[in-house]
Amino acid sequence: MSNQNDNYTIGWICAIEPESKDKYGLTPLSRAAQNGNEAVVKLLLDKGADLELKDKYGRTPLLWAVAKGHKAVVKLLLDESPR
């Protein structure tokens, strides 16, 4: 059952627009970084998600990952950063 759920989740992620925002201005990449979901962060980055988009409070996906202590996600985002 878990594999089926994983496949569903991956399919759903591939279908979403990486630059879409929720009512708080959070993109899918920000949500994934906030939750420490390295696999989803990687999928979204591969799909071209913008690392620099900020939510309505000025936070980027990297800031969320740092604030929540998700070291692997921080490293992944820094490795992908154009700076």
pLDDT digits (tens, 9 = 90+) for 56-71: 999 999 999 999 999 9
Burial-class residue 42 by CB neighbours within 10 Å (0-12, 13-18, 19+): middle
> Hey, what are 15's tokens?
């279908």
pLDDT value of residue 18: 79
Confidence of residue 1 (pLDDT cuts 50, 70, 90): very low
Under 8 Å between Cβ of 18 and 47: yes
> What class is the 2-80 domain?
mainly alpha
- pLDDT tens digits, residue range 30-55? 999 999 999 999 989 998 999 999 99
pTM over 0.85: no
